[in-house]
């Protein structure tokens, strides 16, 4: 069950209504809230449980560091999505999350359509893109990023057709399986998991992606986790803590 998100202020009330989010006029003492901060729209909860408010920041911080020093086309996500020498495919990121992988791919020249089904996370993405367009250095990258509020497991084919987008590659990053309590992920991802829930329909999402991608589907998994239920991946690219399972229709050229 998705937790209630509280919207503070009239503009956020309108936003919450547009996205179908529950709201009240003032921030509660507990639970999660959709709030405005100096860094833009954020989801916040009690600091002891969730740490800093969750925002989408594509201009500075980790996104900026990764853009400058992340390794370019040598990064795992770039290799998995087929960004090789002279090849820059069109990509759908069907589980956009906080937009970090899509931003990397767009920064390397790819046209990327992001799909996000969780209303609160979609709102953060929309706000992050809006703010990034004001930065002259980032603006050309953001121009290669599209965004739709959609459940890719249900609506992938129709949303892609409506957007006039022809994806050669579909990137999937379903929520990783739960870890034990003694190995809880950091607070930011605890908040994200509470918003997004578990991707129990990941095999259905894979089926939808295989039906739409013209060349390949790249699925991010924990390094030791089993593949998603369904067809066997044709190739596997491993990183230090995660890997990509590749389902290939044809080679990218």
116 marked as binding residue: yes
Rounded CA gap, 24 and 12, in Å? 10
10 marked as binding residue: no
Rounded CA gap, 143 and 178, in Å? 35
H helical segments located in the chain: 10-19, 47-50, 61-69, 76-80, 100-107, 119-132, 139-142, 152-163, 187-196, 202-212
101 marked as binding residue: yes
137 marked as binding residue: no
117 marked as binding residue: yes
What Å distances lie between residue 5 and 39, 45, 58, 186, CA to CA? 19, 10, 23, 21
Are the CB atoms for 197 and 174 separated by under 8 Å? no
Strand 235-238, strand 242-248: pairing: antiparallel
What Å distances lie between residue 32 and 18, 28, 50, 98, 244, CA to CA? 18, 8, 9, 17, 32
- Detail the residues annotated as belonging to a binding site for S-adenosyl-L-methionine: 100-101, 116-117, 173
- Detail the residues annotated as belonging to a binding site: 100-101, 116-117, 173
């Amino acid at each position: 069950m998705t937790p209630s998100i509280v919207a503070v202020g009239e503009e956020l009330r309108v936003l919450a209504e547009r996205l179908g989010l529950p709201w009240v006029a003032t921030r509660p003492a507990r639970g999660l809230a959709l709030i405005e901060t100096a860094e833009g729209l954020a989801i916040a909860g009690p600091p002891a449980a969730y740490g800093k408010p969750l925002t989408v920041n594509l201009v500075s911080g980790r996104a900026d560091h990764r853009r400058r020093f992340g390794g370019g086309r040598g990064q795992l996500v770039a290799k998995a999505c087929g960004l090789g020498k002279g090849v820059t495919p069109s990509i759908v990121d069907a589980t956009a999350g906080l937009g970090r992988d899509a931003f990397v791919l767009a920064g390397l020249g790819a046209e990327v359509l992001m799909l996000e089904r969780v209303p609160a996370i979609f709102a953060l993405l929309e706000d992050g893109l809006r703010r990034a367009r004001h930065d002259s250095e980032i603006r050309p990258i953001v121009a290669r990023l599209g965004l739709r509020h959609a459940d890719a497991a249900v609506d992938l084919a129709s949303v892609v057709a409506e957007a006039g987008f022809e994806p050669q590659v579909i990137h999937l990053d379903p929520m990783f399986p739960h870890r034990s309590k003694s190995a809880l992920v950091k607070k930011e991802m605890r908040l994200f998991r509470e918003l997004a829930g578990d991707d129990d329909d990941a095999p259905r999402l894979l089926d939808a992606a295989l039906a739409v991608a013209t060349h390949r589907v790249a699925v991010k998994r924990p390094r030791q986790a089993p593949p998603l239920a369904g067809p066997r991946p044709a190739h596997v690219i491993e990183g230090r803590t995660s890997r990509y399972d590749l389902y290939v229709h044809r080679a990218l050229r």
